[in-house]
Amino acid sequence: MITGLVGEIVAAEIERGVGGGGASGGARREVARPEGALDCPKCNLESRAGFLVERESAAGKFVVCSEGREACGYISDRPRNAKQRKAVLTTPCHACGGAMRLRLPKEKTRRASLACVKDTCRAARWLDESGALAEEVPAQEFGPACALCQTPMVKRGPTSSGSHFWSCPRWRSDGSGCNAKPVWIND
């Protein structure tokens, strides 16, 4: 009886395509490209033919690349309007040139953003209330080394009085980082 059951299980797994087949060790199910499907931004940069497929979880709807997690791994929140779709598809990362993914806020008072898909790059761009890209923030100015940790200081300001100052980027208000005093800039 056990031999018969094992034989039936093996036959069922072979029919479903489970257990060995395909280049990645498991068979990947081919997904037919629906009409009007968006191209995967990451696949476009890497010359693959992936497209975005909508999925749903307990947290809500999201889009993933049809090429799968092993080949591409692109995942993003589902764009709500045409401006967000355009921003996801046409905006490369300003820091590394990689693809960007959409991140929708959980609170209504916050804004949506585009974040770089690379783990090593933490670049982000914000979207305005209508879903279009907001103005790009100018690059930070670096100045003299911090007196305590020798990290290049960052130009901050203007303050309420209109002044600027150099501040250590490792400073934290809770005291856990560098506690160097700011250096005021005389204009």
pLDDT tens digits, residue range 153-181? 888 888 888 888 898 888 877 888 888 88
Question: CA angle 39-45-50, nearest 5°?
Answer: 35
What confidence score (pLDDT) does residue 21 get? 46
What confidence score (pLDDT) does residue 100 get? 92
The residues that bridge with 51 in the sheet, in sequence order, are 39
pLDDT tens digits, residue range 58-107? 888 899 999 988 899 999 999 888 888 888 888 888 878 889 999 998 88
pLDDT class of 12 with cuts at 50, 70, 90: low
pLDDT class of 23 with cuts at 50, 70, 90: very low
3-state secondary structure the chain: CHHHHHHHHHHHHHHHCCCCCCCCCCCCCCCCCCCCCCECHHHHHCCCCCEEEEEEECCEEEEEECCCCCCCCCEEECCCCHHHHHHHHHCCCCCCCCCEEEECCCCCCCCCEEEECCCCCCCEEEECCCCCECCCCCCCCEEEECCCCCCEEEEECCCCCCCEEEECCCCCCCCCCCCCCCEEECC
Question: CA angle 109-112-116, nearest 5°?
Answer: 145
The residues that bridge with 101 in the sheet, in sequence order, are 115
pTM: 0.57
Residue type, 180: A
pLDDT tens digits, residue range 104-143? 988 888 888 999 998 877 788 888 887 788 877 666 788 8
The residues that bridge with 164 in the sheet, in sequence order, are 185
What confidence score (pLDDT) does residue 25 get? 46
